[in-house]
A and B are shown apart, each in its own frame.
Chain A
Amino acid sequence: MNKKKSGDKGGTGLRAPTSLFLRKQSLDTALRELGIIRMSKQYLSRGSADNAHIFDIFSLAITDKQILSVSGASSIKVHSTTDADFPLVQSIDGAHTIGCHHIAINGNGSRAITAGFDGEIKAWSCEDGHWTADRKLTGADAWAIAISEDGQYLAGVTQEGRINVWDLSADGTRIRDHETRGNFGTCIDLSPDGRLIASGHEDGAVYIFSTETGRMPISLLGLVNPVRAVAFSPRSKILAAAGDSKVIVLYDTSSGEQIANLSGHSAWILSLSWSDTGEYLLSSSFDGKVKVWSMETKACVATHSETDKAVWSAKWLPKVGRTEGFATAGANRSIAFYREATG
């Protein structure tokens, strides 16, 4: 009758004698209150923007008050996250005629960059919550994109696996061009401290570049199968990478060592997102599952499966008071919102 104290909710507890069960519950509660262990967390559905797009939503980006989404349709949709029913506040129609696959937003939410299926990269700027077209980055070649915290630099990885960096303050000129041995670049991230760029590739390779020197300070042991998401932790100390191997690998960004392997997904992992504090990592997969992982226990603390269709993007929302929440979107074309259950 020795039961595990971590892991998902709804384990084998119900088969135990009632007295034991109750005792375990109160013990867990006590331990949790004392901060000794962290058990499963509960996130409740807080509504959704149903059929926000008429095609698959491929990417989400978050500001303090808004969530921007791009899809196989031509428009960028802006929904408010401050209202309880997440109303549509702006639709930027005709942004990318044949659809858009990536969107990235800087730290203060003043600049967004989108990458369309037509190969075009466009910049958008925001004033008082209203977005307008800024410019087109003519000749810029990138599949996946990431923007620096201050919005000055744009990093992109191409279909051939090259990594480019553009300075958006200086007429969008390309300031770096890194060669990798990797092939198709599926994902990219810029570290919040601005010092590192990480890219994930179809052949499983994961690369880290220094933005200052343009060199690879460390080499990482990549994954076996295609990598589809890379994400730096808020303090830039950890890089998370995941993809078709169904495992999330955590790397120490100073040594390149693998810190942990988080396994639990049973389908390809499509996106990763760190919570503000770096305590939790969010992941979404091809079978519609979304998981929250505790960095303290390196274990899955919550699993959601509202849909059986691919969740292309999952992102933490800004903290409201002390509660955290996240948004998910994908092949079911709606944006779903979740908040941590309190009390």
Chain B
Amino acid sequence: MAEPTIHNLEIDGGPDPSVQQFIDNTLAALVNELSRSPAEANISITLKRRASPIACIVNPTTGALEASPRIDTYRKYSWPGKTAYEAWKFTVILRILAILDQVIRTGQLISKRDIYYIDPEFFRMQYIVDGIVDDLAYTIGVNRTALNVEAAAKGLVTGDFRLIRGSHILIDAHPCPQAVFHRLARISYHTRALAGEGIMVTVSCVSDLAYAGKGYPDFMTRTFLRAMSDSASKQSRRPPRFYALTDGDPHGMAIMSTYKYGSAANLHQNARLSIPRLQWLGLRVSDIIAVPEVLGDTALLSLTMRDRKKIMAMLRNSPVWASDGPEPEWRAELQRMLVLNLKAEIEILYGCQGGLEGWINRRMFRQE
């Protein structure tokens, strides 16, 4: 048996002093302003605004979805402000800053969900917390992890690797002797069982690592895969390969796009998180129609009205699907789905020869 290679994956440099500095400065400035007479006090917090997803491009250098070049804009939240909404928003920011200050000082980790559930009535909606945490990270110029804000676990990974953050080893995965495809099929099966939703499987077959995730990837998932990509290309002569296997429906395609190019919500992070090497393994609707005797064309599902609207919005709004964009075959697939009014789910593959494992094996061999 070949000597197993341990891959050291460094996800980032660990705590960033600029975060504590920002919090200290902001709070000190507020205390200072509060001590002045109300007439001349300027009690406010200014945040840098993240780029709007409407005007974005696929950067040819990084291969990521990014904001088109523009000047940064800022939004100032004052207290008591002009409206009750502004006053509330100001207090929400202040409250979140206080929570982050505490977790950073005590070295704890927190999720956006945890923050929301500290006081759901006050925060009103989860997305309010999400937006402010992302805005704060963007304003300070750090990743969300530097704020000690982590996401809940939602993927499975197998292979020989060590996950390192700063000087700490977070995860030390033991080598296991199973074949990568087998493990891949197993973990995707488990993910499916856990999630019951569209899955995304990525495998870098050279480095013998396999990963399966549920739904749209979050920040940590993308950080992990990017680390896998970066460190594996540093350590081996052959660049690692990444394959995406998603449901053949608009969400599956959008999930794959998020892995490869990034998300429209966090354009500023995409250059650091995208996986330009990601290849499309499937599932294509035409794969099923072309060999119905193998897979059964009754296994295909009709698109819902929401699916159709989602495809139209994808084609209309994102440069990834543009006619002069980087993925003409993705665009063609979305259009064929609309014309045929069909989608395909990965479950179909469980019934084909050799099951999901056999299908992945054959398909990857064909793409070699």
Hey, what's the 0/1 contact readout for A67-95 against B, CB within 8 Å counting as 1? 00000111000000000000000000000
A310 lies within 8 A of B286 (CB): yes
A184 interface residue, CB < 8 Å from B? yes
A202 in contact with B302 (CB, 8 Å):
yes
Contacts of B222 in A (CB 8 A): none
Residue from the list B289, B302, B305, B332 in contact with A55, Cβ < 8 A? B332
B336: chain A residues at CB < 8 Å are 56, 310, 331
- B328 contacts A55, C-beta separation under 8 Å: yes
Instruction: Evaluate contact between B290 and A72: CB separation under 8 angstroms.
Output: no
**Closest residue of chain A to B293, judged by CB?**
A266
Q: Is A287 an interface residue (CB 8 A)?
A: yes
Interface status of A233 (Cβ within 8 A of chain B): no
| 30 residue pairs A–B, Cβ–Cβ below 8 Å | A55-B331, A56-B336, A58-B335, A72-B335, A73-B323, A98-B312, A98-B316, A98-B323, A99-B315, A99-B323, A99-B331, A99-B335, A101-B335, A101-B338, A117-B312, A117-B315, A117-B335, A117-B338, A118-B312, A119-B312, A159-B308, A183-B302, A184-B341, A186-B341, A202-B341, A244-B297, A268-B289, A286-B289, A287-B290, A310-B336
Q: Which residues of A contact B84 (CB under 8 A)?
A: none
Tally of A interface residues using CB under 8 Å:
28
In the complex, how many residue pairs between chain A and chain B have their CB atoms under 8 Å apart? 59
User: Measuring CB to CB, which residues of chain A are less than 8 angstroms from any residue of chain B?
Assistant: 54-56, 58, 72-74, 97-99, 101, 117-119, 159, 183-184, 186, 202, 226, 244, 267-268, 286-287, 310, 312, 331
Closest approach, in angstroms, between the C-beta of B64 and any C-beta of chain A?
Answer: 23
Whole-angstrom CA separation of A97 from B341 in the bound complex: 20
Contact A118 B338 (CB under 8 A): no
Given A72-B323, A74-B323, A268-B289, do A58 and B315 touch, yes or no (CB 8 Å)?
no
| Smallest CB separation, A226 vs chain B (Å) | 8
Q: Is the CB of B315 within 8 A of A98?
A: yes
In the bound complex, residues from chain A placing their C-beta under 8 Å from that of B286 are 310
CA distance A76 to B328 in the complex (A): 18
Chain B residues within CB distance 8 Å of chain A: 286, 289-290, 297, 302, 305, 308, 312, 315-316, 323, 328, 331-332, 335-336, 338-339, 341
A286 — which chain B residues lie within 8 A by C-beta? 289-290
Interface of B is mostly: helix
Residues of B within 8 A of A183 (CB): 302
Question: How distant is the Cα of A98 from the Cα of B302 in the complex, in angstroms?
Answer: 21
In the bound complex, CA of A119 to CA of B308 (Å)? 11
User: Are B323 and A54 in contact (CB-based, < 8 A)?
Assistant: yes
B316–A72 CB distance below 8 A: no
With the chains together, A99 CA to B338 CA distance in Å? 11
Interface contact B308-A72, CB-CB below 8 Å = no
Q: How far is the CB of B139 from chain A (nearest CB, A)?
A: 35
**Complex Cα spacing A184 to B302, Å:** 9
Q: Are A54 and B328 in contact (CB under 8 A)?
A: yes
Q: In the assembly, what is the distance between CA of A267 and CA of B286, in Å?
A: 12
Q: Are B332 and A72 in contact (CB under 8 A)?
A: yes
Chain B residues, Cβ within 8 Å of A287 = 290
Give the CA-CA distance A310 to B289 in the complex, in Å. Answer: 10
Q: Which residues of B lie under 8 Å from residue A58 when comparing CB positions?
A: 335, 339
Cα–Cα distance between A268 and B316 once the two chains are bound (Å): 29
Interchain CB contact under 8 A, A97 and B316 = yes
The answer to whether A55 touches B335 (Cβ under 8 A) is yes
Task: Please indicate the chain A residues that have their CB under 8 angstroms from the CB of B328 in the complex.
Answer: 54-55
- Inter-chain CA distance A73–B328, complex, in Å, is 10
What residues of A have a CB within 8 angstroms of the CB of B312 in the complex?
Answer: 98, 117-119
Which residues from A are CB-within-8-Å of B338?
Answer: 101, 117
Give the CA-CA distance A331 to B333 in the complex, in Å.
Answer: 11
Residue of chain B at shortest CB distance from A160: B305
For residue B302, which residues in chain A have a CB less than 8 angstroms away from its CB?
Answer: 183-184, 202
Chain A residues near B297 (CB, 8 Å)?
Answer: 244
Least Cβ–Cβ distance between A262 and chain B, in angstroms? 20
Q: Please, which residues of chain A bring their CB within 8 A of the CB of B316?
A: 97-98, 118
Instruction: Please report the C-alpha to C-alpha distance between residue A58 and residue B336 in the assembled complex, in whole angstroms.
Output: 9
Known: A55-B323, A55-B335. 16 other contacts (CB 8 A): A55-B328, A56-B335, A58-B335, A73-B323, A98-B316, A99-B323, A101-B335, A118-B316, A159-B308, A184-B302, A184-B341, A186-B341, A226-B341, A268-B289, A287-B290, A331-B336
Chain B nearest CB, measured from A105 CB (Å): 20
With a cutoff of 8 Å between Cβ atoms, the chain B residues found around residue A226 in the complex are 341
Q: Please state if B332 and A56 are interface contacts (CB–CB under 8 Å).
A: yes
Roughly how many angstroms separate A186 CA and B332 CA in the complex, as a whole number?
19
A202 to B304, CA, bound (A): 13
